[in-house]
Amino acid sequence: MTTQRAVPFLHGDREVLEVLLDRRSTGSVPGERADEHRVALVIGGGGMRGAYVAGMLRDLERLGLRPGFDEVYGASSGSYSAAAFLTGDAEECAACFSEDLCTQVFIDMRRLGTRRPVVALNHLVDVLSTDKPMDWAALGSTPATLHVVATDAADLQPHTLTGMASVEDWRRALRASATIPLLAGPPVEYGGRRWVDGSVGEPLAMARALRGGATHVLALLCRGTDDLHPDADAGLSLWARTLDRLVPGLGTLAQGSRRYGSDLRLVTDAAHPDRGPGHLAAIGPSRSVGVGALCVERGPITEAVEVGGASVVAAFESVAEHGVA
């Protein structure tokens, strides 16, 4: 009897990873599948914690697993990483965290209370357009579909943005998904509505992916198990609810450790009412390196990218060693 190696940062149903490995071995690509599965990749935000996820996406690309996905959902900073992954630019996106974003040009708390945003999303767009250019023109025609999740500022309900027909539309949509209330400027107008960070309404769009027809969902987490709140049912704290009343959505974002724990329950609880017959798995960083959402320290950010990448490699190696091609 073969003993499967335990990987504590791989949660849920390993069949999701098995399907991806099988698709790689057969050369399966979107639109030409030999199986009836629909595999979705879900990427959340987390500000500079997204360095973990950027490393994961880089190594998914290095492992040749990108063609195995049929659609990708991205929210907040995860929407930019998702876009770069689908255009084949995951390597450059991961590198930009330490090489281009660890600077006060991008994040500077001294700008709080001024007319300049603490988080300069324009700098991120500039980096992905010049220094490490992403193939913006390819968005909308990638083999797998990109779904950008943003939150309606009017009622804080999450939606998937649609209708992006130009590079400028895509830039506006990604900015809408990542506009943190108070910290990254006012809500972004798109499609007749005003939008803020997708993580306010939906940190991880796993249930959305299942409702959309996905049979298998892989979520990438920017928080390890030690970074999650021990009580997933705790709800928002009093101070977070108060902050939400002052700046709609900011208190909700600040309670990410609680909300990620709740989302992870969808993965680990096969009887969860929002799950149905779908297969869900999540990969988190194998360890924390102390990176926060607004961290600009190059050392920890560089390490977070490597930890994320190593976590993905270890998770897939664990499944492959169990006999999957």
List active site positions: 76, 197
309 CB-near residues (< 8 Å, 6+ apart): 55, 56, 58, 59, 62, 94
Q: Which is it for the CA torsion 167, 172, 178, 182, positive or negative?
A: positive
Q: Give the N- to C-terminal CA distance of the chain in Å, as an integer.
A: 18
Contact of 287 with 224, CB cutoff 8 Å = yes
C-alpha span between 117 and 133 (Å, rounded)? 23
Contact of 267 with 281, CB cutoff 8 Å = yes
Q: Copy the structure tokens of residue 235.
A: 């709800």
Provide the pairing of β-strand 279-283 with 216-220: parallel
| Distances 51 to 152, 156, 166 between C-alpha atoms, Å | 26, 26, 27
Beta bridge partner(s), residue 43: 74, 220
Quick one: the chain helix, strand, coil %, rounded to 5?
Answer: 45, 15, 40
Q: Copy the structure tokens of residue 66.
A: 């990108």
- Strands (E) located in 92-161: 145-152, 158-161
C-alpha span between 35 and 9 (Å, rounded)? 28
- Closest listed residue to residue 44, CA positions, set 216, 165, 209: 209
C-alpha span between 119 and 127 (Å, rounded)? 14
Residue 28 backbone dihedrals phi, psi, to 5 degrees: -70, 140
